[in-house]
Amino acid sequence: MQRSSYNAKAYSAASEKSGLRSATIPRREPLERDVQIEILYCGICHSDLHSVRNEWSEFMATQYPIVPGHEIVGRVTKVGSGVTRFKEGDLAAVGCMVDSDHTCAQCKAGLEQFCPNMVLTFNSPDKHLGGVTYGGYSDIVVDEPFVLRVPSHLGLAAAAPLLCAGITTYSPMRHHGVGKGKKVGVVGLGGLGHMAVKFGRAFGAHVAVFTTSPHKKEDALRLGADEVILSRDANEMKKHERSFDFILDAVSADHDINAYINLLAVDGNLTLVGAPAEPLRVPAFSLIMGRRNLSGSAIGGIAETQEMLDFCGKHHITADIEVIPIQK
Ligand SMILES: [Zn+2]
Ligand SMILES: [Zn+2]
């Protein structure tokens, strides 16, 4: 359905080879339930880069021009007449999704991220204006149920990555019962891993970070890890055999996942949130002996994302960031 639209300023890429440039894009005029948000900060996620370069073309081909960005913190500039939770001037946040069908079993269970009709913040079909949705490297107009509240005392730039990296780590840790008395491992100390360390600590678990580089030891300890394990040191790894309740694997490069499965206790769980391009090799016996679980996880539902933001507000958790102007 064609609706009335206006021109919004954006940073968009015209092709997989061109970089991001200043441009204008059409945005719908806010409808009854819409919240119009001026962007203050937007995180740069690896999936933004993959999408701009069309590196995930096999399952999600990029349509150009693309406006990436799904770690959005901004200020409300206008609301539709049916909006109840936001008013002009409020802080607001938007993550990886901007719509779903609200009727399927997943939506009813608060798992909108697995709704077959979920609409991603960018590069998903746009039911309002046709074409695809445009993300947060631009001001944005979003249906109220997908707009979140950010605790205003958090640093806003550092809160933006919570909308993707934060919920991607918070959700599986909560789901698998990470808490007091649990031994938790984090593989990969990047955007996702460093959030997992902070959450693990805030949940009261014993947190170990696996790293291949000894120089990351200090970083891990500063973030709150209880110990750091050099994954290339076979002796050190052996000491931790059959001891972990939960391991979060945030590595997207090819790696030996079996080395970590062997560290799981009985009923332990290894959850993948990184996505290596090649299939992983998993020996069945590693799982059979110990009734171990290998699982995956993708962001979190809207209610859980709000819960995560509120938790971060209470525990003063934000991401470690570097701020750059959009022009760069
Ligand atoms: Zn992301
Ligand atoms: Zn649904």
The reported pLDDT for the residue numbered 278 is: 87
CATH class (in words) of the domain with range 5-164+300-315: alpha beta
Q: Topology of domain 166-296, per CATH?
A: Rossmann fold (3.40.50)
Distance in Å, CA 195 to ligand 2 centroid: 28
- pLDDT band of residue 277 (cuts 50, 70, 90) is confident
Task: Indicate the angle between helix axes 302-315 and 165-175, nearest 10 degrees.
Answer: 100
282 Rama class: left (phi>0) / alpha (psi -120 to 50) / beta? beta
List the one residue out of 242, 282, 247 whose CA is nearest residue 266.
242
- pLDDT band of residue 177 (cuts 50, 70, 90) is very high
* Predicted confidence (pLDDT) at residue 2 exceeds the cutoff of 70: no
Distance in Å, CA 100 to ligand 2 centroid: 5
Task: Name the closest ligand to CA 105.
Answer: 2
* Predicted confidence (pLDDT) at residue 189 exceeds the cutoff of 60: yes
Q: Are strands 183-187 and 244-249 parallel, antiparallel or unpaired?
A: parallel
Please state the pTM of the whole predicted model: 0.96
Task: Name the closest ligand to CA 110.
Answer: 2
List the one residue out of 3, 26, 25 whose CA is nearest residue 14.
25
Distance in Å, CA 98 to ligand 2 centroid: 12
Domain(s) labelled CATH 3.90.180.10 in the chain stretch across 5-164+300-315
Q: Which helix (H) or strand (E) holds 229?
A: strand 227-230
Domain(s) labelled CATH 3.40.50.720 in the chain stretch across 166-296
Q: Which chain residues have CB less than 5 Å from ligand 1, an ion?
A: 45, 47, 164
CA 143 from chain centre, in angstroms, equals 20
**How many alpha carbons fall within 13 Å on the CB side of residue 287?**
10
How high does pLDDT run on average in the chain? 95
How far apart are the C-alpha atoms of 286 and 327, rounded to whole Å? Answer: 49
